[in-house]
């Protein structure tokens, strides 16, 4: 029997509508949904290729236990009983501080996975370690919001539908499809903005997005200088229109005063007249917004940079206005009080719960993943002895994967929840097979407040899980049940589980997601009409636009501070500004490393799809300016050795004029090895760029504990040229193509 099922893609943030074809219970194809009102017939190649992930012969569909001869199949009950027993031993001997969980990027796309992990890792005890991909991605953005608005959950996005001037810093939406911004068909949205106004892309590389719009090349990791000089111009030329809900504007003005465009040009490479022109345009265009993303989050001063992006929007009069930088709230009545309570708790945790290594405070409850290896190997209280990894491949995605690999051997228990035998999973005692997104129900909770057009869509599972795969929620619930006598939270959840069973109901986070849908704009509340989870999947499978535009004038609602004002003055921010000025480069590592995402690659995990490898595919390579290469005697296509103070890798180089001089771009997510069980990915070649990134506490961002993944000082030399006392080198294995 063949049926078509309406659903949506959850690989990346636009959540494009999809039509799945299911034949005899098996997913046979995915195509874009023309009736989804926002993605309206668009899906990228990765989304379509996902059928190959679901049906991948390399997929793990049975629990695996690592034995002396590698992984062997094991039954669920046996696996879970042993995991619970070993975890109990760890808890008894060392307390909750010995337990850690790393939750990777795809978890953000599953409400039940997210809620399950939080219940588990916070419920196991207050000393546990919770790591997420966010310290490789967004923590600095979230912490900037915590400083400015009192809550990390108040994150502004550009009002794409209405803006006439969009300044994009450190994002490449034509390839990434947008981040912290759920806007399907973002290429079209940007083209429309250029049609009626301007899109200016500030990036060290003339990216796909920059090439389609205006490009302003910037020296990597100098955005804070540029933003301070924009503020200096706004104040000096009397262009500041910040509105009434702000405190300590004079303080900000004084902080920015020394950073004239003339003084920052040497750092940024951007001419003073261009800075002035941009500042005037931002203040003079009624609908203008600055949007920063990944590239502005992962430098030396990510929190400061994000703070300054919002400060520029605020001072130019562009915060919380139509076409400006806006807060796409869920529209829940009384949401301000939830903000106030959550904000106070999270601010307190940030101040109080300082980590034992480096002293970093948690940002939305998560601690720096860069320090995970050291948390495993450093003796003392809260040393991690049991580690869970779900939806992540930190051996490739966090700094210094070699250190993490070595550290895993010190663990008493390591459990992976994945459907591939990744480089990280290879070190697990147990690998537990999970469902893919098409085998579970979903509502993309995380991304609701990043919707450029307020929209709701939910889906039921499209096909049944293959083999013995289970959802993360089922696995976590099982474990919490087996350990219900171990912690007060698990005991309380056991009572709730039992009570629900007596009522004939299952214990599951879906009612919570349903409640949020009901309370949000367009929701049914307790009523008979309006949206619920069931009505979204039943009556509105293509999704519902709940408002044509994002509501503005909501700043008072998203401010979590008691005085309902934006707080500009923070000693931490002052210290970061002071630190900026004092930094200099080293002669030994004169170049700056930046990242680069590719259309057919998704972090570390879409390299096993034949469709995505088909045709002209470029090998893993470093992109470098031809003038820089000429000076070093490096020819196009030559193998080079790239070294940092942490490590050294070898790979081919591609020369270009589309990058600022001094910057070198290398994609991440490569370096699959025989240890991983994905056959095609292992043939793809390439090398792990994160071997160049430092995991030393002094090298990660001071306020949010962000890994430093851009602007890293490096040197590039022809491969084979011997350089005395450089760190060990990892060779790129040859590419299959
Ligand atoms: N140098 C450098 N490093 C980077 C970045 C960079 O740009 N440059 N980017 C950073 C960013 S932004 C991020 S988000 C991180 C990403 O890094 P991670 O969070 O570690 O995740 P991924 O590499 O995306 O690997 C995701 C894993 O989840 C599995 N998976 C997919 N779907 C599911 C699911 O539904 N359930 C479960 N349980 N597993 C699933 C996949 O098989 C894969 O093994 O990398 C960061 N690292
Ligand atoms: N095809 C594809 N799509 C993806 C992903 C993927 O791996 N592949 N990953 C997904 C994930 S997890 C995320 S978080 C998003 C990220 O999506 P985006 O936020 O759009 O991030 P990137 O595409 O990495 O683009 C970051 C840009 O910042 C630039 N940059 C680097 N350093 C600096 C700097 O110091 N200053 C400035 N101004 N720019 C700088 C880089 O050159 C790059 O063009 O993409 C998502 N979408
Ligand atoms: S753009 Fe992202 S959400 Fe849309 S189809 Fe591609 S991978 Fe899926
Ligand atoms: Mo990410």
Annotated domain spans of the chain: 2-54, 71-131+347-541, 156-326, 583-731
Segment 170-185 mean pLDDT: 98
Helices (H), 163-216: 173-176, 186-196, 208-212
Residue 723: predicted pLDDT: 56
Best of 105, 171, 175, 205 to mutate for ligand 1, by most ligand atoms within 8 A of CB?
105
Listed residue (178, 180, 179) closest to 188, CA to CA: 178
Q: Give the start-end residues of each E strand in 454-543.
A: 455-456, 458-459
120 pLDDT more than 90 = yes
* H helix or E strand, kind and range, residue 611: helix 610-613
Q: What is the pLDDT of residues 42-96, one digit of tens each?
A: 999 999 999 999 999 999 999 999 999 999 999 999 999 999 999 999 999 999 9
Q: List b or e across 72-109, with b for residues whose CB sees 16 or more CB atoms inside 10 angstroms.
A: eebebeebbeebbebbeebbeebbbbbbbbbbbbbbbb
Give the number of the ligand closest to the Cα of residue 396: 1
Adjacent-strand bridge partners of 730:
649
Q: Is the distance from the beta carbon of residue 53 to the nearest atom of ligand 3 less than 6 Å?
A: no
Tokens of residue 183, six digits: 């806007």
What pLDDT band is residue 735 in, cutting at 50, 70 and 90?
very low
What pLDDT band is residue 730 in, cutting at 50, 70 and 90?
low
Residue 152: predicted pLDDT: 97
What pLDDT band is residue 586 in, cutting at 50, 70 and 90?
confident
- Ligand 2 residue neighbourhood (C-beta within 6 Å): 12, 105, 137, 169-173, 175-177, 179, 202-205, 207, 218, 220-221, 223, 293-296, 299, 594-595, 597-599, 601-603, 710-711
Give the number of the ligand closest to the Cα of residue 669: 1
Whether domain 583-731 has CATH 2.40.40.20: the reply is yes
| Range from 296-310, 587-601, 649-663, 713-727 carrying the lowest mean pLDDT | 713-727
Longest CA–CA span in the chain (Å) reads 75
CA of 10 to the centre of ligand 3 (A): 7
Q: Give the start-end residues of each E strand in 9-69.
A: 17-23, 26-32, 64-67
**How far apart are alpha carbons 704 and 561 in whole angstroms?**
20
Give the number of the ligand closest to the Cα of residue 47: 3
How do beta strands 544-545 and 198-203 pair?
unpaired
Residue 536: predicted pLDDT: 98
**How far apart are alpha carbons 168 and 293 in whole angstroms?**
8
Segment 329-354 mean pLDDT: 94
Residue 728: predicted pLDDT: 60
Q: Is the distance from the beta carbon of residue 292 to the nearest atom of ligand 3 less than 6 Å?
A: no
Q: What is the pLDDT of residues 480-530, one digit of tens each?
A: 999 999 999 999 999 999 999 999 999 999 999 999 999 999 999 988 899
340 pLDDT more than 70 = yes
What pLDDT band is residue 737 in, cutting at 50, 70 and 90?
very low
**Across all residues in the chain, what is the average pLDDT?**
95
736 pLDDT more than 50 = no
675 pLDDT more than 80 = no
722 pLDDT more than 80 = no
> CATH for 71-131+347-541?
3.40.50.740
Q: Which residues have CB under 8 Å from 703's CB, separation 6+?
A: 140, 143, 303, 304, 572, 576
More confident residue, 195 or 731: 195
More confident residue, 708 or 69: 708
What is the percent of the chain where pLDDT is above 70?
97
673 pLDDT more than 90 = no
659 pLDDT more than 80 = yes
**How far apart are alpha carbons 160 and 146 in whole angstroms?**
24
**How far apart are alpha carbons 609 and 46 in whole angstroms?**
9
Residue 676: predicted pLDDT: 67
**How far apart are alpha carbons 306 and 311 in whole angstroms?**
9
Residue 528: predicted pLDDT: 86
CB 435 within 8 A of CB 102: no
Residue 442: predicted pLDDT: 98
Q: Which residues have CB under 8 Å from 96's CB, separation 6+?
A: 124, 125, 126, 127, 128, 487
The CATH number of 156-326, from 3.40.228.10, 3.30.365.10, 3.40.50.2300, 3.30.2350.10, is 3.40.228.10
Look at ligand 3, atom 8, and give the residue with the nearest C-alpha.
Answer: 47
Residue 148: predicted pLDDT: 98
Residue 615: predicted pLDDT: 76
**How far apart are alpha carbons 161 and 138 in whole angstroms?**
24
CA of 687 to the centre of ligand 3 (A): 25
pTM summary value? 0.97
Residue 725: predicted pLDDT: 53
Q: Give the start-end residues of each E strand in 110-150.
A: 129-132
Look at ligand 1, atom 19, and give the residue with the nearest C-alpha.
Answer: 104
Residue 284: predicted pLDDT: 98
The CATH number of 2-54, from 3.20.19.10, 3.30.200.210, 2.40.10.10, 3.40.50.300, is 3.30.200.210
Give the number of the ligand closest to the Cα of residue 596: 2
Q: Which residues have CB under 8 Å from 337's CB, separation 6+?
A: none
Q: Is the distance from the beta carbon of residue 441 to the nearest atom of ligand 1 less than 6 Å?
A: no
Segment 105-131 mean pLDDT: 97
Residue 614: predicted pLDDT: 85
Helix-, strand-, coil-residue percentages of the chain, each rounded to 5? 40, 20, 45
**How far apart are alpha carbons 682 and 669 in whole angstroms?**
12
Residue 324: predicted pLDDT: 98
């Amino acid at each position: 029997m063949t049926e078509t099922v309406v659903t949506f893609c959850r690989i990346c943030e636009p959540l494009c509508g999809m039509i799945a074809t299911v034949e005899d219970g098996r997913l046979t194809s995915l195509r874009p949904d023309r009736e989804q009102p926002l993605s309206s017939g668009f899906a990228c190649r990765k989304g379509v290729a996902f059928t190959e992930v679901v049906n991948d012969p390399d997929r793990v569909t049975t629990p695996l236990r690592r034995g002396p001869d590698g992984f062997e199949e094991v039954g669920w009950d046996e696996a879970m009983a042993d995991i619970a027993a070993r975890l109990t031993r760890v808890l008894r001997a060392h307390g909750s501080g010995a337990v850690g969980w790393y939750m990777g990027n795809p978890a953000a796309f599953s409400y039940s996975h997210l809620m399950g992990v939080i219940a588990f890792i916070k419920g196991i005890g207050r000393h546990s370690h919770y790591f997420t991909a966010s310290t490789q991605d967004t923590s600095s953005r979230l912490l900037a919001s915590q400083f400015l608005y009192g809550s990390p959950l108040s994150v502004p996005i550009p009002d794409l539908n209405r803006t006439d001037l969009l300044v994009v810093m450190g994002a490449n939406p034509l390839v990434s499809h947008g981040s912290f911004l759920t806007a399907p068909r973002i290429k079209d949205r940007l083209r429309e903005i250029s049609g009626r106004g301007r899109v200016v892309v500030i990036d060290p590389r003339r990216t796909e997005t920059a090439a389609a719009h205006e490009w302003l090349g910037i020296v990597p990791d100098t955005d804070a200088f540029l933003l301070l000089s924009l503020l200096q111009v706004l104040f000096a030329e009397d262009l500041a229109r910040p509105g009434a809900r702000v405190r300590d504007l004079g303080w900000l003005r004084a902080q920015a005063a020394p950073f004239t465009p003339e003084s920052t040009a040497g750092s940024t490479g951007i001419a003073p007249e261009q800075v002035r022109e941009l500042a005037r345009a931002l203040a003079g265009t009624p609908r203008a917004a600055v949007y920063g993303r990944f590239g502005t989050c992962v430098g030396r001063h990510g929190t400061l940079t994000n703070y300054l992006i919002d400060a520029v929007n605020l001072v130019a009069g562009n915060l919380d206005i139509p076409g400006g930088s806006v807060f796409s709230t869920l529209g829940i009545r009384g949401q301000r009080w939830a903000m106030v309570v959550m904000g106070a708790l999270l601010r307190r945790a940030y101040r109080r719960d300082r980590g034992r290594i480096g002293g970093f405070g948690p940002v939305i409850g998560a601690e720096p993943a860069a320090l995970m290896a050291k948390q495993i190997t450093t003796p003392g209280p809260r040393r991690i002895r049991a580690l869970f990894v779900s939806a992540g491949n930190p051996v490739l995605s966090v700094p210094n994967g070699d250190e993490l690999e070595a550290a895993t051997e010190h663990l008493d228990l390591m459990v992976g929840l994945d459907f591939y035998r990744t480089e990280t999973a290879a070190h697990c005692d147990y690998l537990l097979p999970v469902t893919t997104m098409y085998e579970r129900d979903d509502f993309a909770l995380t991304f609701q407040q990043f919707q450029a057009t307020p929209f709701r869509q939910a889906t039921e599972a499209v096909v049944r899980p293959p083999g013995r795969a289970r959802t993360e929620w089922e696995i976590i619930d099982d474990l919490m049940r087996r350990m219900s006598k171990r912690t007060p939270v698990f005991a309380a959840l056991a009572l709730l589980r039992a009570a629900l069973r007596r009522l004939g109901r299952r214990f599951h986070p879906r009612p919570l997601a349903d409640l949020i849908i009901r309370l949000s704009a367009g929701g049914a509340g307790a009523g008979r009409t309006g949206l619920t989870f069931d009505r979204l999947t039943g009556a509105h499978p293509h999704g519902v636009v709940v408002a044509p535009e994002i509501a503005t004038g909501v700043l008072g609602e998203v401010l979590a501070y008691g005085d309902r004002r934006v707080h500009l003055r923070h000693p931490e921010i002052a210290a970061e500004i002071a630190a900026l000025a004092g930094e200099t480069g080293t002669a030994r590592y004169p170049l700056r490393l930046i990242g680069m995402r590719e259309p057919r690659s998704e972090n570390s995990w879409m390299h096993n799809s034949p469709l995505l490898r088909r045709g002209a595919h470029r090998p893993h390579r470093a992109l470098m300016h031809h003038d820089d290469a000429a000076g070093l005697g490096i020819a196009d296509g030559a193998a080079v050795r790239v070294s940092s103070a942490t490590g050294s890798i070898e790979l081919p180089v591609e020369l270009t004029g589309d990058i600022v001089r001094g910057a070198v771009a290398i994609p991440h997510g490569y370096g699959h090895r025989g240890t991983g069980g994905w056959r095609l990915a292992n043939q793809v070649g390439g090398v792990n760029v994160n071997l160049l990134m430092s995991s030393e506490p002094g090298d990660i961002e001071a306020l949010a504990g962000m890994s430093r993944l851009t602007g890293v000082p490096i040197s590039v030399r022809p491969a084979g040229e011997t350089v005395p006392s450089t760190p060990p080198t990892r060779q790129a294995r040859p590419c299959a193509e």
